Amino acid sequence: MAARTALRRALPYLRSAVTNPGQQLRHTRSLSTTLPYLTPNVSSSTSSSSSAPPEYAIPDPSRPTHFGFETVTEGEKRERVAGVFTSVAESYDRMNDLMSFGWHRVWKDHFVASLNPGFSPLTPGPDPRGPQHILDIAGGTGDIAFRLLHTAHVVNANPSVRVTISDINRAMLTVGKQRSASLPASQQAALTFVEANAEDLTKTRPLHPYPSASEPTSHDAQGKEEQAFFDPATATAEIPDSSVDLYTVAFGIRNFSNIPAALREAHRVLKPGGVFACLEFSKADKHPLFNALYKEWSFRAIPLIGQLVAADRDSYQYLVESIERFPSQEEFRDMIVDAGFVVAGQGFEDLTGGVAAIHKGMKPRA
Amino acid sequence: MSSSALACFAGATTARRILLRPRWPTILPGTPSVAAPCRSSSACATRSIIITSQQCDLLPRPRQRQCEQQAIFFTPNRSYHSHDHPPPPGPFTHAEQNLLSAAYVHVPSHGFSQEALALGARDTGLLDISPSILPDGVFSLIRWHLYTQRTLLAAKAKDAVDQTAAVTVGDKVEALAWLRLRGNEAVVGRWQEALAIMAQPSYVPASLKELASLADEILYLAGDVSVDPSWYTKRASLSAIYAAAELFQTTDQSPKFRETRAFLRRRLDEAAQAGGALRSVGEWVGFNASAAVNVLRSKGVRI
């Protein structure tokens, strides 16, 4: 029910994009600003010193970026992504299972196992550097955060590990909050839900309850109707510099309006030695036959499944288009290095022939 | 290996050009390269074959890291010894080298384990979570041991060969294989664990590749210049003998691993004998076959 109202809210954007194609073409500057590797003068922009962010890494709501195969402004993308995820929040997990034949669980389990959160060598006395703090960005429904907590608290028997789930979208966070009710109390106590825009983590606020089905709209303190996505003006807290041991983002960074800005923000909040870990769809170009089958599945079957199961074709059309638009493993690895991280080996690990990939980077000691 | 194989089949001239040059100086690490260092990251990418990570230190600071990364990402993993190019920078990035060399100190007490990695990370001022960037976890630590011991071999080879007054290729091979086995001394108590990890299916290809590289390195340093099929049989038999000797070493209690040395010598002698026997049989078969053909021709058979 809530999904329907949310869809209604998101529809004007989608409809205007369809009925008003001229709107897509109004940009005048190069449209690749969120993906610096496409700009012609890439060598000059990457050579600027790492302390001052290059121009493309500063969020600008009016700058053009991708929304699936369309070109929109960064501000508009934020709203439309919010619309997409508000409308799919409730069916999100069921759809993931249908689209990937349940395989996304294997990817997520492998992702968390390879990070081994909460592991600590047996030394006399507690770790002088304090307990681990994990930040799960775009963690919405808690899939990754709950796994991280389980590995840290149960497998590695380290109950001091804290996890902060952050998402720009209140509907997704609310689903996660509801699901967390089935966790053991000790794990619930280690969880925090915050609303934040990953491109600017200096502005966060604790999760406000999202309007229920019976009360479709809510109003903030000033009596204005609240947006589905986080409004920085309502921020009450921040994530300080060098405060996070592990920053994870799973199937989320693709939807960010400005990826370089988010990477730099990750670099800021991580402690020296902290790890940035990203699980994201990627390119399976190395296996042409498999890739052809995979493309066929994603462009024909997934929007259809979305229509049948979640009654929302447009959102899933956006999903497959955004996967197609996301940079390749090597390009994204270079973006991570550009943001100041160091990587090990080739910097990424392909899953299922490259359909998804895990990227990891470490913030070096200054 | 494949490139060397190509060189073999491309004709003896090419192969001789690659293999018959002076042996010692070129394999030593830190050999200066013939080309000027790259000025920009794009130049790095295009001329990557001649970049080593040391050369990146000459660049302005902001470009260094990118250059270092690219020196590793774009350098093709050359699998033969070249006299014209410096050795490739190796499979480890700077971040990995720091983490692994610090963790390696803890291997004798904690084994090839997550504990050693985390303690190493603490020693270098990093966090317990930092080693999770390593692509293969503890196997990266094992590979670090294999890689560093193999590359150390080149630097120590000349002294070791001179000491034993080895003359023939076979003697040099034995001296070098023994030198490599002694490289395991520090971690020999933990080496069975490492072998168990290396035997896990996903790590078997990388482990075998490392074994092949070691056999190739030993034969190259010993001055083997064969350009016939024995190029393969020598490497295959040395790989098998080395692996067996290493396994023997993990349970060897004798002082200074004297038993392992004897084991190694026996196996190499047997291989030499088997090789000699095989050659004799081949010679006998060849002689008799040609004799038989000649007898038949003398009887008027058109062969």
**B89 contacts in A (CB within 8 Å)?**
none
pLDDT at B14: 38
pLDDT at B157: 85
* Average confidence (pLDDT) per 10 residues, chain A, 366 residues: 48 46 40 42 42 74 78 78 75 83 93 92 74 92 93 92 91 88 93 92 82 47 60 85 94 90 95 94 92 91 88 86 92 94 93 93 91
Q: Which of A331, A343, A349 to mutate to test the interface with B (most CBs of B within 10 A)?
A: A343
Instruction: Compute the Cα dihedral for A254, A258, A259, A263 and give only its sign.
Output: negative
| A175: its two tokens | 């689903």
Q: Say whether pLDDT at B138 is over 80.
A: yes
Interval B256-283 mean pLDDT: 94
- Distance from C-alpha of A65 to C-alpha of B149, rounded to nearest angstrom: 50
- Distance from C-alpha of B39 to C-alpha of B84, rounded to nearest angstrom: 22
pLDDT at B28: 38
Residue B210 CA neighbour count, 13 Å, CB half = 23
- Distance from C-alpha of B120 to C-alpha of A24, rounded to nearest angstrom: 53
Radius of gyration of chain A (CA): 20
Q: Closest partner residue to A344 among B115, B119, B133, by Cβ? A: B133
Which DSSP category does A1 fall into?
-
- Distance from C-alpha of A162 to C-alpha of A133, rounded to nearest angstrom: 5
H or E element that contains A337: helix A329-338
pLDDT at B15: 38
In a 3-state reduction of DSSP, which class is residue A125?
coil
pLDDT at B219: 93
H or E element that contains A206: strand A200-206
B96–A344 C-beta distance less than 8 A: yes
Judge whether A116 is annotated as a binding position: no
Q: Say whether pLDDT at B29 is over 90.
A: no
Helices (H) and strands (E) in chain A, counts: 13, 10
- pTM as predicted: 0.76
Residue B72 CA neighbour count, 13 Å, CB half = 23
The residue that leads in pLDDT, B225 or B69, is B225
Residues with Cβ within 8 Å of residue B209, at least 6 apart in sequence: none
**Nearest residue of A to residue B127, measured between CA atoms:** A273
Interval B100-116 mean pLDDT: 94
Phi, psi at residue B227, to the nearest 5°? Answer: -125, 25
Question: What are the start-end ranges of the E strands in A31-76?
Answer: 64-67, 70-73
What is the least distance, in Å, from the CA of B9 to any CA of chain A? 30
CB atoms within 10 A of CB B149: 18
**Nearest residue of A to residue B91, measured between CA atoms:** A345
What is the least distance, in Å, from the CA of B88 to any CA of chain A? 14
Does the structure's ipTM exceed the value 0.90? Answer: no
| Cβ proximity of B48 and B67 under 8 Å | no
pLDDT at A42: 39
pLDDT at B58: 55
> B187-235: per-residue pLDDT in tens?
999 999 999 999 999 999 999 999 999 999 999 999 888 888 889 999 9
- Distance from C-alpha of A238 to C-alpha of A10, rounded to nearest angstrom: 28
When the pLDDT of each residue in chain B is averaged and rounded to a whole number, the result is 79
